Amino acid sequence: MRKNQLLVAAASAAPPPPPVHHPPPPAPSHDEVRTIFIMGLPEDVKERELQNLLRWLPGYEASQVNYKGEKPMGFALFSSARLAVAAKDALQEMVFDAESKSLLHVEMAKKNLFVKRGIVTDSDAYDQTKRLRTGGNYSHSPYTSPSPFHPPAPVWGPHGYMTPTPPYDPYGCYPVPPVPMPTPAPVPAPSSYVPVQVISKCHMPFSVLV
């Protein structure tokens, strides 16, 4: 009996087993191809147009258009090979331009785009001097992004009336073109004079010529 009590006490005093730690999911290998190759783009396509199409796809990281061949070719980098394959299937046979009715043909690329400070550096098929369009960096884009700040309010003068300094602006700084004023016609001289009777303070009427 006492032996059983000692066993129960020892079991209750034993520390609980350590929690089981599950290993984190493996990070995408740098060797796996995560880049898709896009053909069927119109000749006048802009990199921003391709970026606006791809930026909503899950895992999108960067894209670029190569203009070296007869037709422009697009490349897009994703965060994993699985998301790259999903993007390839989503873009396959998509109508990119309604006017030219160009259909996209998408395949997996042979190499990945290597992004280093916004420049493509490890692919022979890409222009090394071109900047890479990324999801959040538009510093090298020919399009200017709107400023998040509102422009400052115009500075007005102090309250109350103040005489402006010469020269004066007759149009109040508004872009109103000057209107030519017609030349007044000359007034002809009177042909005759009519006598007018004027009464002075002395109540003595006399005539003057007007």
Say which CATH number the domain at 53 has.
3.30.70.330
Which carries the bigger pLDDT value, residue 161 or residue 69? 69
Count other C-beta atoms under 10 Å from residue 152's C-beta: 6
- Mean pLDDT across the chain: 70
pTM above 0.85, yes or no: no
Q: Which pLDDT score, from 0 to 100, does residue 4 have? A: 62
Q: What is the mean pLDDT of residues 97-103?
A: 84
Q: Which pLDDT score, from 0 to 100, does residue 167 have? A: 59
Give per-residue pLDDT as tens, 34-82: 999 999 999 899 999 999 999 999 999 999 999 988 889 999 999 999 9
5 falls within a domain: no
208 falls within a domain: no
163 falls within a domain: no
29 falls within a domain: no
Q: Which pLDDT score, from 0 to 100, does residue 36 have? A: 95
When divided into structural domains, the chain yields a total of 1
**Structural domain containing residue 126:** 35-134
154 falls within a domain: no
C-alpha count within 13 angstroms, C-beta hemisphere, residue 94: 14
190 falls within a domain: no
The lowest-confidence range among 7-11, 27-31, 117-121, 175-179 is 117-121
The lowest-confidence range among 54-58, 78-82, 148-152, 173-177 is 148-152
79 falls within a domain: yes
Q: Which pLDDT score, from 0 to 100, does residue 125 have? A: 41
205 falls within a domain: no
